[in-house]
Amino acid sequence: MPKNKTLSFQFVGATLLGCLLVSVARPQSLPVELPPYRSYAAPSPPGLPPAGETLVDPTFGSVILRVTDSRDGANNYHAYAYWPTLNLDSSRLYISSVGGEATLYDFDPVGMSISNKRLAFPPLPNGARPDAEDATWSWTNPDKMFVHDRKLLLWEYDVNTGAYELVKDWRPAFPPGHHSNQMHWAYSKDDVVCFAWKDEDQNSIGVFAWSRSADRLWKFQMAKIDECTVDKTGRYLEIATGNQGRGVIETIFVDLQTDRRTNIQDDGPTDPNQLGTYWAPGHGDVGAGLRVGYENWNNRMLFRRHATPGQFSTLLNFNNDWTVGNHVSMLADDESWATVSTFATSPGAPDLWKNQIFQMATDGSGGIRRLVHHHSNKDDYWARPRASISKDGRYVTFDSSWGSTSRTDVFVARVGGPPPGPTFTIAGTPASQTAILGSGATYTVAVTPQSSFQGVVRFTASGLPAGVAATFTPLTLTGGGSTSLQLSTTNSTPSGGPYPITITATSGTLVRRATVNLTVADFRLSGPAALFLTPGDSASFALAVLTTGSFAETVRFQASGLPTGTSATFSPPSVTGSGSSQVRIDVSPSTPLGGPHPLTITGTGGSLVRTASMTLVVKAPPLPSRTRIP
């Protein structure tokens, strides 16, 4: 009898991000095992070092870093296999719960070490706390994360500065009280994201997806929803309905470009290999236009592409071993391998797949690469490994109750050998600055060496707006240290922004990038084109200060070109940022008739001087009306 998925799995959340088009850095080769597979009985759990130190898996030889221990409390875990724990360049590690608190570490990928442990998030600008479970790394900037507070507000968080930037407010598009849940990005260009959608009573309404580049929102309402995911290209949305049973639709594939929707049935025909939209994928993960997931009617792992959802192939068959559950991670750029973590759901589970983390070939060859025994000793959800692979495919983060029956810890295992050679990371601070047009802004670019790096690092900047020049002082560094980046604007630079500036640091074949933002501030004055007054008359008008690029200087006013006997008064005499001043022009009775007189209103704000031109005509008063005498 087929095993119901709910006996083997528990759902926590769903999130995906997009994948970068970069060269894939593969770990050193691991032994590949082909069928028939060998059983590897787990040895007695090795003694654990304290947090921050490593040990070696006695069966498969992988180096394992212990991230947490008893000093961190009992509740230490990362949330799920398809949420990344390591950032873009594997220089920072995010754990959603260390003693109940979302926590960040600096991670040395060569030395397999952690440092600078700190709380991950301050409160959001609206006073709420970010949802720690599905907080996720940017796939384009190693210093940025995306968070939400389940209030239909999406934020970008800079882990260097601790600053939040509001990315999108969806509240106007939804009924009051509705909220976002279970965020999942397309891991590539930080563009497409999806959420489960709930009302104020936590009832499921459906899912919604959003494209950042197009500012387009898709809504899908349905009575029941389990989760949603977006593939790495951002084109294909998967909706897991949470419905199971014979003839029931469990998964819906949506092509966001064409709006084509394909229903995938939970079960299928008598022949399990008959192609069609059958055997819906259960828990698994998505790649670029593909899905790898567990199929519970026939106890196997299936591969299918979103473009041809009726075609599938079997990657691994667990046959009659119904005693293990599993999770899948496809976060690595190299999609030729899926990372699988298993957990025993029965004390009598055989050793073939029991409590292991391994990689499964996605080409249908049946290839397996074994990584570790995770030694979790209880079938409690938070003690299950939920292994998450890093973007570069070199590191696997997993949870385990290893060595305890009352607590869980977090571990990171290296896939294969260490990465070749010493390396370095870079960071640019501050993340954002504003420069008044014609002036500049200075940033510090820090180079942090890892594993005794002593190479010469050369810097360049790209993405500069017109009229902006970049100068590094010094232009090169040896080993670690910092350089100063000066961005200088000219009068031809367009105001506005923020403009993302990419800093590239190169040393031989090593290339590291960081992004800083520059906003160019300017202002202009606006008033009437002409005034017509008579001697002894006066008039007032509003002089507007119109700003761009977050201009916040104090602008002081003066008038010139006034004819004899005419004065100008400003109230107030200055304005900070945008605003207006009331200008009163008084013409004395002795001012001669004439004009037009060219007047110039000058505003000086910081180093900027802006003018508004107008004309003044002093005209004769109207003749008194004549009274007709009868």
Does 75 have pLDDT greater than 70? Answer: yes
- Look at residue 208 and tell me whether its pLDDT is greater than 50: yes
Q: Parallel, antiparallel, or unpaired for β 608-618 and 530-533?
A: parallel
Question: Residue type at 319?
Answer: N
89, two tokens? 């360049």
State yes or no: pLDDT of 276 exceeds 50: yes
| Cα–Cα separations (whole angstroms), residue 9 to 80, 266, 317, 323, 509 | 12, 16, 18, 12, 43
Query: How much is the average pLDDT of 588-599?
Result: 90
Q: Are 463 and 499 in contact (CB under 8 A)?
A: yes
Residues 6+ apart with CB under 8 A from 441: 433, 434, 435, 486, 487, 518
pLDDT band at 17 (very low <50, low <70, confident <90, very high): very low
Render pLDDT for 124-179 as a digit per residue (tens, 0 to 9).
999 999 999 999 999 999 999 999 998 899 999 999 889 999 999 999 999 999 99
Return the residue matching tokens 């060569």. 110
Residue type, 574: S
- Which CATH number does 527-618 carry? 2.60.40.2310
Q: Do 144 and 159 contact (CB within 8 A), yes or no?
A: yes
Q: What is the mean pLDDT of residues 54-60?
A: 94
Tokens coding 151: 């209030």
Residue 619 CB contacts under 8 Å (≥ 6 apart), including other chains: 532, 533, 534, 593, 595
Pairing outcome for strands 566-571 and 579-587: antiparallel
pLDDT value, residue 4: 33
H and E: helices and strands count for the chain: 0, 46
In the structure, what pLDDT confidence band is assigned to residue 348 with cuts at 50, 70 and 90? confident
pLDDT(81) > 50: yes
| Pair 479, 455: CB distance under 8 Å | yes
Confidence at residue 28, expressed as pLDDT on a 0 to 100 scale: 52
Q: How confident is the model at residue 342 (pLDDT cuts 50, 70, 90)?
A: very high
**Which of 291, 315, 290 has its CA nearest to residue 367?**
315
pLDDT at 9: 27
Q: Is 136 in contact with 183 (CB distance < 8 Å)?
A: yes
Residue 6: φ, ψ to 5°: -70, -15
Q: Report pLDDT digits (tens) over 85-106.
A: 999 999 999 999 999 999 999 9
- pLDDT exceeds 70 at position 411: yes
Q: Which residues contact 347 (CB under 8 A, 6 or more apart)?
A: none
Spatial distance between the Cα atoms of 268 and 19, rounded to a whole number of angstroms: 32
Whole-number percent of the chain with pLDDT over 70: 94
Nearest to 536 by CA among 559, 567, 558: 567
Residue corresponding to tokens 């590949």: 32
Nearest to 99 by CA among 113, 114, 119: 119
Side-chain half-sphere exposure of 595, counting CA atoms within 13 A: 26
- Mean pLDDT, the chain, rounded, equals 90
Residue with tokens 């670690």: 480
Interatomic CA distance for residues 405 and 369, integer angstroms = 29
pLDDT at 21 over 80: no
Q: What is the DSSP letter of 383?
A: G
Largest CA distance in the chain: 128
Question: Is pLDDT above 80 for 8?
Answer: no
Cα-Cα-Cα-Cα dihedral of 81, 82, 87, 89, to 10°?
100
Which helix (DSSP H) or strand (DSSP E) does residue 602 occupy?
Answer: strand 594-605
- Give how far Cα 564 sits from Cα of 547, 589, 615, Å: 33, 11, 15
In contact, 199 and 178? CB cutoff 8 Å: yes
Read off the pLDDT band of 238 (50, 70, 90): very high
Radius of gyration of the chain (CA): 32
Tell me the two tokens of residue 317: 């068959």
**Structure tokens belonging to residue 445:** 């670019």
Cα 181 from Cα 202, distance rounded (Å): 10
Using the Cα atoms of residue 191, residue 194, residue 197 and residue 202 in order, give the sign of their dihedral: negative
Dihedral of alpha carbons 81, 83, 85, 86, sign: positive
The domain 16-41+52-414 is classified under which CATH number: 2.130.10.10, 1.10.150.120, 1.10.150.50, 3.40.50.300?
2.130.10.10
Q: Please report which confidence band the pLDDT of residue 574 belongs to, taking 50, 70 and 90 as the band edges.
A: very high
How many other CB atoms are found less than 10 A from the CB of residue 494?
Answer: 16
Q: Look at the block and give the residue holding tokens 């945008």.
A: 578
Beta strand extents in 241-299 (DSSP E only): 249-255, 261-265, 284-286, 290-295
Sign of CA dihedral 474, 476, 480, 486: positive
Query: Model-level pTM?
Result: 0.66
Q: CA-to-CA distance for 497 and 551, rounded, in angstroms?
A: 12
- Of 619, 618, 613, 617, give the one whose Cα is nearest residue 529: 613
Domain boundaries defined on the chain: 16-41+52-414, 423-521, 527-618
Tokens 């299936």 -> residue: 302
pLDDT attached to residue 628: 59
* pLDDT mean over 52-63: 94
Structure-block tokens of residue 122: 């301050």
For the chain, report the end-to-end CA distance as a whole number of angstroms.
Answer: 119
What's the confidence (pLDDT) of residue 14? 30
Instruction: Give the amino acid at 307.
Output: A
| Intrachain domains 423-521 and 527-618 with the same fold | yes
CB-CB contact of 162 with 145 (8 Å):
no
Q: Which CATH fold topology does 423-521 show?
A: Immunoglobulin-like (2.60.40)
Q: Tell me the per-residue pLDDT of 453-466, one tens digit each, with 9 for 90 and over.
A: 899 999 999 989 99
pLDDT tens digits along 367-403: 999 999 999 987 788 999 999 999 999 999 999 999 8
* CA-based torsion, 167, 170, 172, 173: positive or negative: positive
Query: Do residues 520 and 549 lie in contact, with contact meaning Cβ atoms separated by under 8 Å?
Result: yes
According to DSSP, residue 394 is labeled S
- Burial call 274-299: b when 16+ CB within 10 Å, e when fewer: eeebbbbbbbbbbbbebbbbbbbbbb
Residue 24 has pLDDT above 80, yes or no: no
Summarised one tens digit per residue, pLDDT across range 553-573 is: 999 999 999 998 999 999 999
